[in-house]
Structure 1
Amino acid sequence: MTTFTGPELCQMEAHQVVALLRKGDLSPDDLIDASQARLEQVEPLVNAVPVTCWDRARSKAKTLSGPTDHPGWLAGLPIGIKDLTPVEGVRSTFGTKALSDNIPKASDPIVTRLETRGGLVMGKTNTPEFGAGGNTFNDVFGATLNPWDTRLNAGGSSGGAAASLASGALWLSHGSDHGGSLRTPAAYCGIVGLRPSPGLCASASVTGFIGEGVQGPMARSVADCALFLDAMAGFEPRAPLSFPAPDQPYQQAVVQADPALRIGFAPDLGGFAPVDTDMARYLARAMQAMEGAGATVEETCPDLPDLERTYHVIRGGMWAANFVSAPESLTRHFKPTLAQNLAFGLSLSAEDIAKAQLSRSLIYDNMRAFLERFDVLACPVVGNMPHAQSEEWVRLVGGQALTGYMDWLRFAFMATVAGLPAISVPVGLSDDGVPVGLQLIGPPRGEAKLLAAARAVEIVMGGPIGPIDPVTSKS
């Protein structure tokens, strides 16, 4: 059994709170006060939001105005912003010592969009250095801990965002994703994290034509995730890959959820990624439950030629482009794995890049055809349940020894390479009482279909779960 001793408002779902804000039954100050009280209660235990700015939120609430008829209107709801994304006047460190005192003079466009649509930034959520890795720690703020068991990894790189939601400090929290940075912490903390199509939730970048790293919504339920996606989505001329939101709100798709899905289930992505026995059992249980609710589940996987090398080349190119001109005063602080990323990216040849582009096109075509037969592809988010936070990266999964710090995150690679939307949704608890996440991957620009499928899974599996009081010891 889980407990929650925070303010009653903090236990409510975001869409419920926004409905009360819209009607005038709650004020933004009510929510800021509740969020601040909960942050003060849980932050010493989880370290999810190391930079707070609730006075700024109160000031913004006094001048709140915007498109109140917009489906993503948040009406004065406090939110979190990941500490890789600048917020005007708020300490934004990117998790690196060289920027530990950085105070941006302007917000990223996605922050501006969210504030224009009624979001109130309450603070910056913790991230590993420049978002590299599936474990949230850095030399500026230290480690974020998993609210379900504070000995465990909360996931990364949006670990602070996920922990802030699971502990009830925030209702919605912004994240970003390249190698599972939204999806892994969502799975480990028992919340919902959506990696959208590149360009849907646009932000500023010095590498604007590199679209594999995306911004996305994190929430405690699928309905809340859809609300946050409606708030985030929209054309941004400063982002060259940006495209407009659809005419129908994503929240409408959630209302239309139907468990009679066609699910292609790939428990190890055709042998691509190892899986621990307990994880395989938990996800098989979820597929059986879906079948019982009317879904058709077929164990199958599309051909994913040279996926691993393709992902690493694409990722290496991103690191090289981001830091090829960076001053030594910045790069000298890099942790070893981040320095290795940059060195690998700079070592790539034109042939490496050409082959990766050919492979990703084949993977995209194979997935597009696959998702004409199935509504979604279901697979693990990661092949293992969370390990100790002190273990930087997982070295043994499914009996296989892993040698690279990204090896345990292989299930994240395919959606990124193919540019497809993917979501992590909780499917119950493990034998030890820790959340289990299932990854669903949808068709090109198929966020509405994906959210509907995730909501159907959520209903069948008895979710959403949480928020909870942080669990500081396990018997």
Structure 2
Amino acid sequence: MALSPDEFVFLEASVQAALVASRHISAVELLQAHLDQIERVNPQVNAICTLVAEQALQAAQDADARQTRGEPIGPLHGLPVGIKDLADTQGIRTTQGSPIYADHVPDTDALVVTRYKQAGAIVLGKTNTPEFGAGSQTFNPVFGATRNPYDLDKTCGGSSGGAGVALACGMMPIAQGSDFGGSLRNPAAWSNVVGFRNGVGRVPVWPGAMGYTSLSVQGAMGRTVRDVALQLSAIAGPDPRVPNALPFPADVFRAPLERDLRGVRVAWSRDLGRYPVDAVITQVCDAQRGTFEGIGCTVEDAEPDLRDADDIFQTLRAHSFAHRHEKHLAENRHQLKATVIWNAEQGMKLTALDVARAEAMRTALYQRVAAFFERYDYLCTPTTQVPPFSIEQEYPTAINGQLLETYIDWMGLCYAITVTGCPSISVPCGFTPDGLPVGLQIIGPPHADVAVLQLAHAFEQATRFYQQKPQVALA
């Protein structure tokens, strides 16, 4: 294939994998193309915080040797992958963006990392994240800030910010991430890539201290919906150690994403009936409403009754922060950022009744959402309430003149969906007049992960916004 290296690294991951599988290019050659792109672009954006080039090169050589011997290859064979700096990676520094763990090198892999490796992916390093993944602005005292590739003075979001930027800049074809309140979706929106919050338990989380009740998911990011599905075909599926793991096999993600969408019912909501949204976000998203009608969908203004979503999320998030950071507060408080301290201490103030009420409210909310999806097949909203803001600003404090109380209030469009348990995806939806990416969030009923990917794929192919690349990444 007669392509320059900077063109080659922007091919879809599925195409790159096919070229390696057919021996048109070796895993070593593919890795080297991405390493060259990293060397050229990463100093400008700071997306990859720990690079293990020699270790990755050895893994790529081993992959080529196995293929030469005729051994079976996995669906991700030869594809370089970045792992978010929250997930344990054996022999690779994993800091969680915290000086407390600045020198931590795990001796085992997280389950999701093991599955990437088993599927043939080559781990090339870690992607940057906020401290402990807290907040949707990727900066930390260990590695500094990750910059938005479309405007280096703006944030890329988070907490899977490094992953989104690395994908947008052609530094890797696939990326692992995680999502509690929007951490796969928000940075995808702001880097013009795809981030999918799959259903809880679809990709089992191990190790994980709260295996029954966690709101966080492990998942995938890619430049296209097809590339996200490709990764899920390798990392999804049950695990006996994980109590909330869904008993669905990963091969459901190997089927083609094309389907007939005529007559599909789409609910369209600009703000979920409750959140302030910047006018430019509304304008960009509204301009694409007709795309769904053009592919045969019926589109109506509607949203589910999400009352109590804010109380539920804030309570359960604080509850989990208190559990996770109790020891950190006691022993390393001086090394924690203020928002982590605040969120953990909010959790310390909760009573058992507070948590029980939040769980009861969440159950009632789930039932209202389930009834809503008896009338509609999908719900569409903007992914974010604001466009990318200054990299010097930790978080927005007001939207449309409405003051925000906490560091995560501006992420309501994502975290309100988190508490429903529904699968949701952010796909590129266009650009602001200043050239900043905007994402559209597509949400489906519980367990309808494949259906969400199907509609997102159709929208993506109809609009082709994903083809626009940041200038910083081009030679």
374-383 vs 290-299, which deviates more? Answer: 290-299
SS at match of 1:7: helix
Deviation at 1:82, TM superposition (A): 0.1
Structure-1 separation of matches of 2:5 and 2:264: 37
Deviation at 1:430, TM superposition (A): 1.7
Show the 5 A alignment for 1:55-204. 55-64=54-63, 73-203=75-205, 204=207
Match of 2:230 among 210, 213, 227: 227
Deviation at 1:305, TM superposition (A): 2.3
Describe the superposition over 1:388-442 as per-residue Cα deviations: whole angstroms up to 9, x where unpaired.
Answer: 1111101221331212111100111222112111100011222122211001111
Deviation at 1:248, TM superposition (A): 4.6
* Residue 12 (structure 2) pairs with residue 9 (structure 1): no
Structure-1 separation of matches of 2:270 and 2:390: 24
Deviation at 1:246, TM superposition (A): 3.4
Structure-2 separation of matches of 1:380 and 1:205: 31
Aligned residue for 1:393? 395
Describe the superposition over 1:116-154 as per-residue Cα deviations: whole angstroms up to 9, x where unpaired.
Answer: 111110110000000000100000000000001111110
* Residue 266 (structure 2) pairs with residue 263 (structure 1): yes
* Residue 39 (structure 2) pairs with residue 40 (structure 1): yes
User: Paired residues, what number?
Assistant: 467
Aligned residue for 1:405? 407
Aligned residue for 1:250? 253
Instruction: Give structure 1 regions of 4+ aligned residues with deviation exceeding 6 angstroms.
Output: 66-70
Describe the superposition over 1:296-343 as per-residue Cα deviations: whole angstroms up to 9, x where unpaired.
Answer: 111111111211111101111111222234474444311000000110
Structure-2 separation of matches of 1:293 and 1:258: 7
142-151 vs 227-236, which deviates more? Answer: 227-236
Q: Is the 8 A contact 1:226 1:251 kept in 2?
A: yes
Match of 1:438 among 434, 437, 440: 440
Q: Is the 8 A contact 2:233 2:251 kept in 1?
A: no
SS at match of 2:467: coil
Identify if the C-alpha distance between structure 1 residues 376 and 341 changes in structure 2 by more than 3 Å, giving closer, same or farther: same
Q: Which runs of 5+ in 2 are unaligned?
A: none
SS at match of 2:257: helix
Q: Which runs of 5+ in 1 are unaligned?
A: none
Identify if the C-alpha distance between structure 1 residues 282 and 225 changes in structure 2 by more than 3 Å, giving closer, same or farther: same
Deviation at 1:346, TM superposition (A): 1.1
Q: Give the letter aligned to residue 219 of structure 1.
A: G
Cα RMSD of the aligned pairs, angstroms, is 2.1
Structure-2 separation of matches of 1:86 and 1:471: 28
Describe the superposition over 1:434-464 as per-residue Cα deviations: whole angstroms up to 9, x where unpaired.
Answer: 2110011111111100000101111222232
Deviation at 1:7, TM superposition (A): 2.5
Aligned residue for 2:422? 420
SS at match of 1:184: helix
Q: Is the 8 A contact 2:423 2:443 kept in 1?
A: yes
56-65 vs 373-382, which deviates more? Answer: 56-65
Structure-2 separation of matches of 1:267 and 1:215: 27
Match of 1:349 among 351, 356, 361: 351
Q: Give the letter aligned to residue 175 of structure 2.
A: S
Structure 2 length-normalised TM: 0.94
Identity %: 37
Q: Give the letter aligned to residue 310 of structure 1.
A: I
SS at match of 2:374: helix
SS at match of 1:105: coil
Q: Give the letter aligned to residue 205 of structure 1.
A: G
Greater RCO (Cα-Cα under 8 Å, separation 6 or more): 1
Q: Is the 8 A contact 1:253 1:449 kept in 2?
A: no
Q: Give the letter aligned to residue 255 of structure 2.
A: Q
Structure-2 separation of matches of 1:437 and 1:56: 35
SS at match of 1:418: coil
SS at match of 1:230: helix
Aligned residue for 1:296? 298
SS at match of 2:125: strand
Deviation at 1:87, TM superposition (A): 0.6
Describe the superposition over 1:221-242 as per-residue Cα deviations: whole angstroms up to 9, x where unpaired.
Answer: 0111111111211222232211
Aligned residue for 1:18? 17
Deviation at 1:5, TM superposition (A): 8.3
Deviation at 1:344, TM superposition (A): 0.5
Q: Is the 8 A contact 1:290 1:460 kept in 2?
A: no
Q: Is the 8 A contact 1:42 1:167 kept in 2?
A: yes
Q: Give the letter aligned to residue 321 of structure 2.
A: W
Q: Give the letter aligned to residue 212 of structure 1.
A: L
* Residue 52 (structure 2) pairs with residue 53 (structure 1): yes
Deviation at 1:386, TM superposition (A): 0.8
Q: Give the letter aligned to residue 379 of structure 2.
A: L
Identify if the C-alpha distance between structure 1 residues 182 and 249 changes in structure 2 by more than 3 Å, giving closer, same or farther: same
Structure 1 length-normalised TM: 0.94
Deviation at 1:6, TM superposition (A): 5.4
SS at match of 1:264: strand
Q: Is the 8 A contact 2:31 2:60 kept in 1?
A: no
185-194 vs 416-425, which deviates more? Answer: 416-425
SS at match of 1:41: helix
Show the 5 A alignment for 1:302-317. 302-317=304-319
Q: Give the letter aligned to residue 36 of structure 2.
A: A
Describe the superposition over 1:252-300 as per-residue Cα deviations: whole angstroms up to 9, x where unpaired.
Answer: 2513363753210111111x11111111111111112322332211111
